[in-house]
Amino acid sequence: MQRAIEELSAALKSAKPDVVLLIGDDQEELFLDDCIPTFSLFWGKESWDRPEFIHSDMSVPSRAAVRWAFHGDAPEAYPGHPALGRHIVERLMGQHFDVAQFTKQHESRSLGHAFTFVRRRLMDADRIIPMIPVLINTYLMPNQPSAARCFAFGRALANAIRTWPGTERIAVVASGA
């Protein structure tokens, strides 16, 4: 598995993207308990990994064992790409996806490991690629999308990216970490 992660990292580096559209799930990490959107997209200036929120209880052995791969020891900001993020939201809406969108992260919540794993394990430590987190509720009932709806959402994302007038190289990473 570690070799496969190294190969993915090498592929991402060789693609030399300017932005990563990062698709993952949220397991009560970023969203507050009373607001769990089916599809959402963050298009702010920066999103945050806050390990003190995620790993506040290090007495759970599995959390201690994986912290190195998922989170650092201190909060870390990940740069975003607000213009591209907004463009994608607008194009998704035009394709009949009522996507939740946000530009500010709640100060006591963190990006989950689906996002931080990609940053920590696939990106160079000295070159953090701006990312646009796209979150799909694959974890919490009752508004989980069907496989067919996720497929349609992926097509809509691809169409939104194709219509971006900028020159940035955009990588798409779907993480189930």
Residue range(s) defining the domain that contains residue 9: 2-174
Inter-residue contact 23 to 137 (CB < 8 Å): no
* Residue 98: per-residue pLDDT: 94
Q: How many domains does the chain have?
A: 1
**Burial class (CB within 10 angstroms; exposed 0-12, middle 13-18, buried 19+) of 27:** middle
* Residue 55: per-residue pLDDT: 59
* Residue 87: per-residue pLDDT: 98
Query: What CATH code is carried by the domain that includes residue 138?
Result: 3.40.830.10
* Residue 177: per-residue pLDDT: 58
Distance of CA 100 to the CA centre of its chain: 14
**Burial class (CB within 10 angstroms; exposed 0-12, middle 13-18, buried 19+) of 106:** middle
This model's pTM is above 0.85 = yes
Backbone angles phi, psi at 158, to 5 degrees: -60, -40
Inter-residue contact 67 to 51 (CB < 8 Å): yes
* Residue 164: per-residue pLDDT: 98
Pairing of β 76-79 and β 131-136: unpaired
- Distance, in Å, from the CA atom of 39 to the CA atom of 48, rounded to the nearest integer, reads 19
Joined together, the tokens standing for residue 125 give: 């430590």
* Residue 61: per-residue pLDDT: 72
pLDDT < 50 regions, the chain: none
